[in-house]
């Protein structure tokens, strides 16, 4: 068992191949996957219906920032990791403390980072 066993993980990722790899890694780690959501509106709709334990957010969704999703997660106290090719510099100041995984990343690094956020 891992720290992700039974945890509900929201995945916000617009690249289909990356989303599938993330989903597979999370399922292998015992997590329940919410999504993946490819747009901010899809992610916000999921959050209207679901309450994840933790989340992974791509910062740039086809030119649209996922900051509104990050804001909702932060307001609810849901920890999250930002996965981005832009590095920590792309984070808005309100989320500068959030862990960042630089793309491309190893799926094991993602599951480890999410596991550290689950208490």
For the stretch 78-91, pLDDT in tens is 999 999 876 666 67
Judge contact between 94 and 112, C-beta under 8 A: no
Evaluate if residue 1 carries a pLDDT over 60.
no
Quickly tell me which residue has 């999250």 as its tokens: 80
Please tell me the distance from the alpha carbon of residue 71 to that of residue 78, in angstroms, as a whole number. Answer: 10
Please tell me the distance from the alpha carbon of residue 30 to that of residue 8, in angstroms, as a whole number. Answer: 10
> Does pTM top 0.85 for this prediction?
yes
What the chain holds in terms of domains, given with CATH numbers, is 8-118 (3.40.50.2300)
Burial 2-24 (b: 16+ CB within 10 A, else e): ebbeebbbbbbbbeeebbebbbe
**Average pLDDT value for residue range 46-65:** 94
Please tell me the distance from the alpha carbon of residue 65 to that of residue 25, in angstroms, as a whole number. Answer: 24
* Bridge partner residues of 9 (DSSP): 33, 54
Please report, rounded to a whole number, the percentage of residues in the chain having pLDDT higher than 90.
74
Please tell me the distance from the alpha carbon of residue 3 to that of residue 96, in angstroms, as a whole number. Answer: 25
């Amino acid at each position: 068992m891992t720290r992700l066993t039974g945890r509900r993980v929201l995945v916000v990722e617009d690249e289909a191949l990356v989303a599938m790899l993330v989903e597979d890694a999370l399922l292998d780690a015992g997590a329940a996957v919410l999504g993946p959501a490819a747009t901010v509106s899809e992610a916000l709709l999921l959050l209207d219906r679901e309450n994840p334990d933790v989340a992974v957010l791509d910062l740039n969704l086809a030119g649209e920032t996922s900051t509104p999703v990050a804001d909702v997660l932060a307001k609810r106290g849901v920890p999250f990791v930002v996965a981005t090719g832009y590095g920590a510099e792309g984070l808005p100041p309100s989320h500068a403390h959030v862990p960042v995984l630089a793309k491309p990343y190893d799926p094991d690094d993602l599951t480890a980072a999410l596991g550290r956020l689950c208490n």
